[in-house]
Amino acid sequence: MTESPPAVEIRHLVKDFQTSFKRQPLRAVDDVSIRIMPGEVYGLIGPNGSGKSTTMKALLGLVAPTAGQCAIFGKDSMKVDSRNEVGFLPENPYFYKHLSGEETLEFYGKLCGIKGKKLKDRVGELLELVDLKEASHRRIGGYSKGMLQRIGLAQALIQEPRLVILDEPTAGVDPVGSREIRDLIFKLKEQGITVFLCSHLLEQVQEVCDHVGIIFRGKMVKEGKLEDLIAIEDQTELVMKDASPELVAQIEALIKSDASASLVRTGKPRTTLERLFLRETVGRNDAK
Amino acid sequence: MNPLSNTIAHASRIRVIAFHAFTQLVRMKVFYFLAFFALILIGSNFFNLPQHEGPEAAGVNILHSIKSWSLGAMTLFSVVLSIVATALLLPKDVEDRTLYTILAKPVPRLDYLAGKLLGVLLLVFVSLAMMDVLMTGILHIRTNMVMESQVAFAESRGHSAEQIALLKSDIMAQGATASLQGAVFSVFLRATIIASMALLISTFSTSTLFTTIISFLIYFMGHFQADARAAYFTSEAGTSDSFLARGISLLISLALPDFQLFNVIDAVIEGQVLPLFILGKLTLIGLFYAVFYVISSWFIFAKKEF
C-alpha cells in the first residue's frame, strides 16, 4: 500500500521581492520547509511581515518561489490542477459587492465546475454551515466583517477541498465571530480536512492546531507538535477541585520534604477574558 | 482529463467569468448612462437642420443626420465603455483581493483574462444592439415619412413610374440598410480591438487611470498610424525603402492597429454599400488584434505576482 502524499509540502522555499529603490532584493521567506500530513491542523505563527502570507501565496501559486518547491497533495503548486483540492480564505477578504451571499457561492462553485442541483445543494449546505442562510439574499456590500469571513470560509469550501488555507481567519472579527470561525475549524478537523492557517493570535492557534511553526523575519525558527513545543519539561501541573486548605498544606509539606523538588506556585486557575466575555454575552442571550 | 472535456471546462469557466463581468458592469448601472445619452441622441435627430437642397432632396438630410449622430454616438459609447470597463475590472479585482480567491480556484489565468474581456465585449455588444434597434426603428419611420413626401412631390411634378421607382430606391439606400448593420458591426469590431488593447495595458499598469489614459492615446494614435507609416517608412514610389524600414513599419502595425480602416462607416452614412469582403476583412483584423493582445496579456499576467 502506497503512503498518501503530504497535504502540503514546502521544501526550502525562498522568496525575494525586488524593491524599486533598493538594489538588494527583499527576502520575505528564507529557506522555509513545512510538511503537513492529511487531516492535520497546522498553524503558522509569527509577527506581522514575517513571511506567513507570502508562504501561503507561494503554496497557492500566487507568487513564484525564487527557490524551492511547493506541492499540494504531491502536485506542483504552480500548476493549476493543484488547486482542485484546495480552498483559500485570504486575509480581510472582499468579495464582489454586487453579488449576494448565495450568488457569491454559486460563482465560485461554477468556477470549480460544479453546476445544477449539486451546486444548489452545496450552496445551501454551506450557508447553513456558516450560519448565513437568512442573509443569503443580501448583497455582500452590506455584510459585517464577521459575515464576510464566514462567507469567505464557505467559498473556500465550495468544491469540498481536502486542504483549506486560512490567512488570518479571525482578523478584525469580534470574539463571538472569532469563536464561530474557530468552531468551524473544529468541524473541518472532524471531517478530516487538512487546515493550514496563519495567525498572530496565539491563543487561537493553540486551541485549534496540532502542529505549529514559528516564522520570524522569513525564517522558520521553531516547528513541531504543539503539545511538545509548549510543554515545560521540568514542571508538573496538578489541578484539584474542592481541595480543603488542610489537603493543600499536606501536599506542600510533602513537596518540601523532597530535596530535589520545589513548589513553583499555588493559586486558583483563571479563566480567559475571552471565555468571560462569551459567558457574559452569548450565555446571556441563550438564557433569554 | 481528455482534451474534449478539458476544452469544455475552459469554455465553461470563461463563460462564468464573462457573465459575471457583464453582471458586474450592468449592476454599476452602465445601461442607465447609455439609455440617457441614447435618448438625447435620438431626440436630437428630430431637430430641423438648415436645408440647402431643393425640395426634391427634402428629408434625406435628416436620414443622414440620424445615421451620422447615431453611429457617432455608438462609436463614442463603445470606445469609452471598452476602455473604461476593461481598465476598471482587473485593478479592482487586485485591490479588493477578489483575484486571490479566483486564482486560488482551478482557474487558469488565460481563462480569467478571456472571461473578463468577453464580459466587457458582451456589454458593448448589448449596448450597441440596443442603440441599433433604436436607430433602425427611427430610421424606418423617418424613411417612410420621407418616401411619402418625396413620392407625392414627384407625382405632383408628373415624374414617370421609372423615375419614381429610382427615387424610392435612392431614399431606401439612405435608410436602415444591411450596410448600416454592417457599419454597426464594424463599430463593435473596433471596440473589440480597443478593449483587448486596454486589457493588455491593464495587465502591467494596475491603475485604472493610467490604463484609461494610455488606451485613449493609443486609440487616437491608431487613426494616424497609416499616415505616419506612409510618411516615414515608404518612399515616393510607394514601397518601403529598406528592410529595416519595412520591419519597423510592420512592428508598428502589429502593435498599433490602423483605425482608419474602420472609416468605412462614413461611406455607409453617405448611403454607399458596404461590400461584404470589406466587412470580412475588418472581422479578420478585429479577430487578429483581439487574439494578439489577449495572448500578449497572458504572457504578462501569467508571470504576475499578487
Residue A2: pLDDT band with limits 50, 70, 90 = low
Question: Cell numbers 491603475 correspond to what residue?
Answer: B207
For residue B97, give the nearest of A64, A86, A90 by CB distance: A90
More confident position, B50 or B95? B95
C-alpha span between A222 and A224 (Å, rounded)? 7
A168 has pLDDT over 60: yes
The predicted model gives B209-225 an average pLDDT of: 87
Residue A29: pLDDT band with limits 50, 70, 90 = very high
Q: What is the ipTM of this complex?
A: 0.82
DSSP label of B78: H
Task: Tell me what the pLDDT averaged over chain A comes to.
Answer: 86
Residue-level pLDDT at B57 = 62
C-alpha span between A106 and A117 (Å, rounded)? 11
| Helix (H) / strand (E) containing A44 | strand A41-45
Q: Which of A26, A75, A110 to mutate to test the interface with B (most CBs of B within 10 A)?
A: A110
B107 neighbourhood in chain A, CB within 8 Å: 80, 83, 111
B25 neighbourhood in chain A, CB within 8 Å: none
Residue A283: pLDDT band with limits 50, 70, 90 = low
B119 neighbourhood in chain A, CB within 8 Å: none
C-alpha cell belonging to residue A50:
514575517
Residue-level pLDDT at B20 = 94
CA of A84, closest CA in chain B: separation in Å? Answer: 5
Residue-level pLDDT at A181 = 84
B296 has pLDDT over 90: yes
- With an 8 Å Cβ cutoff, is A96 touching chain B? yes
Residue A274: pLDDT band with limits 50, 70, 90 = low
**Where are the alpha helices (H) located in chain B, listed in sequence order?**
3-26, 30-44, 60-95, 98-103, 109-156, 161-173, 178-205, 208-222, 225-233, 243-255, 264-269, 276-302
What pTM value is reported for the model?
0.84
More confident position, B168 or A287? B168
CA of A258, closest CA in chain B: separation in Å? Answer: 59
How many A/B residue pairs have CB atoms within 8 Å? 80
Residue-level pLDDT at A280 = 65
For residue B16, give the nearest of A57, A89, A111 by CB distance: A111
CA of A215, closest CA in chain B: separation in Å? Answer: 21
Q: Which of A54, A76, A80, A89 to mutate to test the interface with B (most CBs of B within 10 A)?
A: A80
C-alpha span between B129 and B2 (Å, rounded)? 38
Tell me the C-alpha to C-alpha distance, in Å, between residue B37 and each of A54, B81, B82: 47, 13, 16
**B29 to chain A: closest CA residue:** A98
pLDDT above 90 as % of chain B: 36
The domains of chain A are located at: 8-230, 245-287
CA of B19, closest CA in chain A: separation in Å? Answer: 10
Q: Please indicate whether, in this complex, the C-beta atoms of B105 and A111 are within 8 angstroms of each other.
A: yes
Q: Which of A29, A110, A111, A157 to mutate to test the interface with B (most CBs of B within 10 A)?
A: A111
Residue-level pLDDT at A173 = 78
Those of residues 214-233 in B touching chain A at CB distance below 8 A are none
Residue B15: pLDDT band with limits 50, 70, 90 = very high
CA of B103, closest CA in chain A: separation in Å? Answer: 7
The class of domain A8-230 in CATH terms is alpha beta
Question: Cell numbers 452614412 correspond to what residue?
Answer: B269
The domains of chain B are located at: 3-302
C-alpha span between B138 and B42 (Å, rounded)? 8
Residue-level pLDDT at B1 = 62
The predicted model gives A21-47 an average pLDDT of: 88
B97 neighbourhood in chain A, CB within 8 Å: 90, 92-94
The predicted model gives A229-242 an average pLDDT of: 80
Residue-level pLDDT at B79 = 93
Q: Please indicate whether, in this complex, the C-beta atoms of B106 and A83 are within 8 angstroms of each other.
A: yes
Task: Tell me what the pLDDT averaged over chain B comes to.
Answer: 84
Select, from the ranges A144-153, A254-263, B103-112, the one with the highest average predicted confidence (pLDDT): B103-112
For residue B100, give the nearest of A62, A86, A87 by CB distance: A62
A287 has pLDDT over 60: no
More confident position, B1 or B167? B167
**A60 to chain B: closest CA residue:** B104
The predicted model gives B114-124 an average pLDDT of: 95
Q: Convert the pLDDT of each residue in A82-122 to its tens digit.
A: 998 999 998 877 889 889 999 999 999 999 999 899 999 99
Lowest mean pLDDT among A144-148, A192-196, B45-49, B170-174: B45-49
Strand A219-225 relative to strand A211-216, pairing = antiparallel
Residue A278: pLDDT band with limits 50, 70, 90 = low
Residue-level pLDDT at A126 = 93
Q: Convert the pLDDT of each residue in A16-25 to its tens digit.
A: 988 766 667 8
Instruction: Measure CA A59 to chain center.
Output: 15
Q: Convert the pLDDT of each residue in B127-151 to its tens digit.
A: 999 889 888 988 888 888 888 888 8
Q: What's phi and psi for A86, nearest 5 deg?
A: -130, 145
